[in-house]
Structure formats: C-alpha cells, structure tokens
Chains A and B, each alone.
Chain A
Amino acid sequence: MSALVYLSAAIAVIATVLVVTRANAVHALLYLIVSLLAVAVVFYALGAPFAAALEVIIYAGAIMVLFVFVVMMLNLGAEAAVQERRWLNPGIWIGPALLSAVLVGELLYMLVSGGFAAVPAVAGAIVGTGGTATGLAPIEPRQVGIVLFGPYLLAVELGSMLLLAGLVGAYHLGREQPPEQR
C-alpha cells in the first residue's frame, strides 16, 4: 500500500514536469489530468476520501473540461484540421495513456488485494510519534460536513459569494465582442 502511494507521487511529479515542458496546450492538459488523478490517490491514502472524490470530480472533471473548451475556442481556423490529424498519431497520447495505465493497475491491485481496508492503517501510520487516537482513522465525509456547516458556515457563505462573482465576471468577460464595439 505504501509503495503504491509513492508510485502515485512519482507519477504526479513526472506528469507535472511534462505539463510544464509541453509545447502544445492539449498535451499539457492530458498530463495535468493524469497528475490530478495521481494526487487524488495520495489524498485517499492520507485518509481523505472525500477530498479525493472532489479532486477527481471537480478538478480533473469540471475545471479541466473548462480548459479543454477554451483551448478548442482558441484553435479555430484552417490549421485546426491539420492539427486534428496530427493528434491522431500515437506518439501524442501514448505518454498520458501509459501513466494512467499505471494508475489503473494500482486501482485493480487494491481492489483484488483488499488494500482499501488497509487505508486506515496507513492513515494511522502517518501520525507517527506523539499522535493521538483521533488520527487513527480516515476523516469521513460526515465529519467534514459537520465541521463545514458548523464553525465554517461563514466561510461557506463567502465561498458562495466568490463563486457568484466568478460567474458574473466570466459572463461579462466571455462575450465575443469588445464592449466598445457593440
């Protein structure tokens, strides 16, 4: 289990290095998605299953789809078809596919070997010296929800205001024509 976590961390670092060094935005996005998935595995091993699920659903799902849409919009033009044909050759997607195949292998190994049951033990081992008994179990979504809507309720409200501001700002800025030409 521990080796799997370090393998995921290595995948995250490799994928992130490739994100920073790619020339093509779509290739970088593929590696960024792999990196986020690998970090989600690390979250799970750290005893934060809710955060791991959010990482996959919101980060690797929603935010990356936003990036993909914008990259698509920036690529309009005659060279788009040529580029499309270039994307179909295997040299492009073989790297992200290999890295995510390793992640899938980890998942299958954990499913087969019952490694999921061992996650609390790993989370407990993180505590190390001087840890208390509260650190011995993963932090469940239930616990997170109770604290989130208890002491942190004001932060949730502020977060909703921030998201509303982001929505209005993106709507205003995302229109096609510059405002003075309308």
Chain B
Amino acid sequence: MHAVALQDAWILAIILFGLGLIGVLARRNLVFMLMSVEIMLNAAGLAFIAAGARWGQADGQIMFILILALAAAEVSVGLALILQLFYRSASVDADAASALKD
C-alpha cells in the first residue's frame, strides 16, 4: 500500500487554487467569477484537510466545515447580488457594475 504524500495533496491544492485565481482574473461574467471563487475556497479546504491528515488531528476537518459555511453564505449573497445586477442592467458582466459609482 503506497503513499499519497502530503506534498502531492498540497500540489493539487495549489493547482486548483491557481486555476480558480486565473478564472477570477480572466473571466468577466460574474457567475463564472463566483464559480472560480468556489474553486479557490475548495482548494483551501483541501490544504486544511491534508494538513489535518498529516498531523492526525480533527482541526483540519473543522476548518473545512467552517469554510463550507462561509462558502454557503457567500454564494447565497453573491448570487442574490448577481440577480439584482441582472434585473437592473440586464447583464451579468462585471464591467456593468462599474455604473454603481454614478
């Protein structure tokens, strides 16, 4: 039975986080940006769980549960904001939100 090294789990977390970051920076559709934020939160949870498994403590999974609660709250408010922006400007482009300053 061979090893799944801690480093490998962290490399996966780094790759997923980087992909999410690229998504936030490159996309202009707010739904896609919110999805990319979810990917980044998930990668952070993966890093916590890998660390918790490395030291055999439950704390990593508890941090994951808190991240899950944060993600749920963030997604509900974020999607409501996207809907509100869509009702007002008929667009989910992030640049459409620049009209907020007027």
Residues of A within 8 A of B (CB): 1-2, 5-6, 9, 12-13, 16-17, 19-20, 25, 28-29, 32, 35-36, 39, 42-43, 45-48, 50-51, 54-55, 58-59, 62-63, 66-67, 70-71, 73-74, 118, 121-123, 125-128, 131-132, 134-137, 139, 143-144, 146-148, 152, 155, 159, 162-163, 165-167, 169-170, 172-174, 176-178
B79 touches A54 (CB 8 A): no
Are A25 and B29 in contact, CB atoms less than 8 angstroms apart? yes
User: Judging by beta carbons under 8 Å apart, are A163 and B3 in contact?
Assistant: no
A46, A148, A152 pick with most chain B CB within 10 angstroms = A46
Q: What is the CB-to-nearest-CB distance from B42 to chain A, in angstroms, rounded to a whole number?
A: 6
Contact present for A46 and B50 (CB under 8 Å):
yes
Enumerate chain A residues within 8 angstroms of B42, measured Cβ to Cβ. Answer: 36, 39, 55, 59
| A169–B83 CB distance below 8 A | no
Q: Quick check: A159 and B69 within 8 Å, CB to CB?
A: yes
Q: How far is the CA of A67 from the CA of B86 in the complex (A)?
A: 15
- Name the A residues within 8 Å of B20 (CB-CB): 16, 20
Q: Which of B46-81 contact A (CB under 8 A)?
A: 46, 49-50, 52-62, 64-66, 68-77, 79-81
B60 cross-chain contacts in A, Cβ below 8 A: 48, 139
Instruction: Please name 17 further chain A to chain B contacts, defined as beta carbons within 8 Å, in addition to the given A43-B46, A46-B9, sorted by A numbering.
Output: A13-B15, A20-B36, A32-B38, A42-B9, A46-B4, A48-B53, A51-B65, A54-B68, A67-B35, A125-B1, A127-B56, A128-B3, A131-B56, A147-B62, A148-B58, A174-B84, A178-B84
26 A–B contacts, CB within 8 A, in A order: A2-B1, A13-B16, A19-B36, A36-B42, A42-B12, A43-B46, A46-B49, A51-B45, A63-B38, A63-B71, A63-B72, A66-B79, A70-B79, A118-B1, A125-B1, A126-B54, A128-B3, A134-B57, A139-B53, A139-B56, A139-B60, A144-B62, A147-B58, A166-B74, A166-B77, A173-B84
B99 interface residue (CB < 8 Å to A): no
